Amino acid sequence: MRFFFIFFVLLPFAASNAQVLPAPALSARAWVLMDHASGQVLAAQEPDLKLEPASLTKVMTTYLVAEALQQKRLSLQQTVTVSERAWRTQGSRSFVPVNKGVEVDALFKGMVIQSGNDASVALAEAVAGSEEQFAAMMNRTAQRLGLKDTNFLNSSGYFEGPAPTHHSTARDLAKLAAALIRDHPETHALHAMKEYTYAGIRQHNRNRLLWADPTVDGLKTGHSSAAGYCLIATAKRGPRRLISVVLGTASEDARARDSLNLLNWAIRPSMRSSSTTRGRSFPSSGFSRARRTPSVPASTKISSSRCRAAWRTRSPPNWSAASRCWRPSPPAARSAR
């Protein structure tokens, strides 16, 4: 009887201590790691801090276009005339022609894969009649999805200068990504495409994790001088789907490194240590603007056969070995947004 008493008294304390795990120390200004199935926030820093989301805005635009397609208010084969306003939108672009008809399918892929601001505006006008009306639709949908700290002013997230009233949070963006995956899985699948060619111009997806980690299948990058470098990453590791959001990092390398460290932290208990936060699981030299084999210290390299074994022959995969199977960086895109 005494043994069982001690067991039941100590059990709650043991469970409590098991949950107190050191979260990774990242460079991002705000970040969240969420389990998609349960919606549980596994770790976070400043999750409700309102920040400009830059092109992460396009996740809501994507959601509403997918909804319009689902409800037959729009079709992929439908031709949309690109307005001068859409054509003149700066930042990252799909280079769609002004006053010409472009299929919704091309505009959609241009927005999702190339992060085309011009394609975003053209789609917003096709769905709502004007970008202002589309922004109102975005905010109504944000309220419906429970995004309590989000406000959108346009469909692309591009502004000439700071726009503090166009804002969201790491928590809200994780919820939005979860809603896109849940409600429009076929659209989420587009985010895994590494490149798209329109009008003879090939552009690569700016999500570098698509090249670094085969479990990553999305979702969206963003960048502006006010927002910093941001990334929503989605990954399916075994039966578990994870969503990470990092906001306000200093570089493309930093947002990729922070995101991968978060995903690794969620899966491997041994990653829940200071070694992850020092970047050993994702050296900054692992990505560069040029197409070249990354420079990785000899002590961390593993052979091609061990790489294949790490990813393919283990169930679950050997993440420690797999994280050192580096791949060449994708070519630099025309404009990082």
Q: Is 194 a catalytic residue?
A: no
Catalytic residue among 55, 83, 92, 156: 55
Q: Which of 27, 83, 115, 281 is catalytic?
A: 115
Active-site residue identified among 58, 109, 175, 220: 58
168 is catalytic: no
Q: Name the β-bridge partners of 30.
A: 247
DSSP-derived pairing of the beta strands 201-204 and 195-198: antiparallel
Question: Is 301 part of the annotated catalytic residue set?
Answer: no
Identify the CA nearest to 253 among candidates 334, 319, 330. 330
Which residue matches tokens 């959108």?
152
78: Cα separation from own chain's centroid: 28
Residues assigned a catalytic role: 55, 58, 115
